[in-house]
Amino acid sequence: MARAPTKHGRDEAVDFQGVLSDLQDWELSFKGKDKKVKAQASHKEPLVSSSKKTETDGKDRKPAGHSSTKDYLSSSMPYEYSRNYDSITRLSTSSISEDSFADAASEKESGNEYFKQKKFKEAIDCYSRSIALSPTAVAYANRAMAYLKVKRFQDAEDDCSEALNMDDRYIKAYSRRATARKELGKLKECLEDAEFALRLEPQNQEIKKQYSEAKSLYEKLILHKTSTALGNTIEKMQKVEKTDAKVNSHKVQPVTRTNTIQKTEVPVSQDYIKPVTSSIQKTEVPVAQDYTKRKQVASKQELWESVQELASRVASKVMVETAKDISPPTSAYQFEVSWRRLSGDHALQARLLKTISPEALPQIFKNALTVPVLVDIVKCIASFFSEEMDLAVSFLENLTKVPRFSILVMCLTSTDKADLVKIWNEVFSSKATPLEYAEKLDSMRSKYCIKK
């Protein structure tokens, strides 16, 4: 495959290599001359020819600060040589580094040209060479796009993850990874990527469309799983109900008042029996039918209760599975995704928070911490403060070290400030708080803009 034309920087590198070779040859010749100078000095032979002398009042002028011309040559020439050699070496190294960067950029541009021509395999090769020379988030994301075109979805997902490791606010990497994950059947992760991309750029129509599609697909998946589970449960209950009906039909016989009276001998005249019997026959009460109806009503009620119980079990199972998936986040994006997923359950949110080392908070959030997340974290810390005071105080201290923290607390709403004041007074600075922790928390009031 044809490579892009090499740039002028490569020619400069070759020229510098030639200069270095000339310097090495000059160094060897200089060493030979230096040996001759030393030999002449040992025999006390004149070192400097008459052409090198200057006449001033009939005397030779010697360079200032040197006892002889020999000393001047032996001290200055190696210094000049080493100085020039080092400067040229640094210049050549810098040129080679710039040349590598130029090559990486040219390879990326070549990849873009191939991509425009729909030569995706050639584009992938160019992007790969660019990454090998100088890896960048853009090169990884561009190669991921090429992978999507040739349906290498797992490679595309991996490249997007690499791009996000280098730049966790790169919208295109989130969008392309969402596409790859949709094709891989990872609908939940696809929705999370699309949602975060939309939060970064709310007015982007293309990302809005991608988010809507991802949300629709994920909701259909959940609905399908739920309906399947409910259908299986209802089918099982109907089978049980039919079995119960058969058993009850054998045990219960239709009983009427006329049958009972016919079996009972009443010592009265036949004239009296006939009208009474006829009236009773008209008011027969189908006891078995009433029993069946009551049974059906009870079965429906039981079915509804079973459905509710099933829904509760499904929710519990989801929470359990979610708890199993809790792992330490390494970026603000990962934290927010996990945090929102556990919304409403402070115990699980506390568990997520405890997977993080407090000292790692500034590195995780960088400039991406938001006011709502900050307030939620403080509320969560308050939920386990009484049990693990040392850990809670450490979290509060390290939150203040997150970049832009002072700006965030200035943006707190009046409601948020009221919540923090209440938490500080009732939880962090309560009478039950040991003195050593109470002093630290009081000193942090000003950082959180909380007045006493």
Structural domain spans, the chain = 255-292, 332-444
| Residue 249 pLDDT exceeds 80 | no
Is the pLDDT score of 227 beyond 80? Answer: no
pLDDT at position 223 over 50: yes
Three-state SS for 60? strand
Task: Identify whether the C-beta of residue 365 lies closer than 8 Å to the C-beta of residue 332.
Answer: yes
Q: Is 432 helix (H, G, I), strand (E, B) or coil?
A: coil
Checking DSSP bridges between strand 59-60 and strand 55-56, what pairing results, if any? Answer: antiparallel
Q: Which two tokens stand for residue 176?
A: 């392309």
Give 176's pLDDT tier (boundaries 50, 70, 90).
very high
| Predicted model pTM | 0.48
Distances (CA, A) of 299 to 242, 289, 430: 11, 15, 54
Residue with the larger pLDDT of the pair 242 and 431: 431
Query: Is residue 243 over pLDDT 50?
Result: yes
Say which residue, 35 or 151, is predicted with more confidence. 151
Q: What percent of the chain has pLDDT over 90?
A: 35
User: Are 364 and 332 spatial neighbours (Cβ–Cβ below 8 Å)?
Assistant: yes
Alpha-carbon distances, residue 360 vs 163, 376, 421 (angstroms)? 21, 18, 26
CA gap 137, 122 in Å, rounded: 19
Phi first, then psi, for residue 425 (nearest 5°) are -75, -40
Q: Where are the beta strands (DSSP E) in 167-224?
A: none
Q: Is 304 exposed, middle or buried (0-12, 13-18, 19+ CB in 10 A)?
A: exposed
C-alpha 80/C-alpha 307 separation (Å) is 91
Percent of the residues in the chain that have a pLDDT greater than 70, as a whole number: 57
H helix or E strand, kind and range, residue 55: strand 55-56
What does the buried/exposed string (b/e) look like for 408-434 if buried means 16 or more CB atoms within 10 Å of the residue's CB?
bbeebeeebbebbbebbeebbbeeebe
Nearest-10 crossing angle of helices 187-200, 205-251: 140
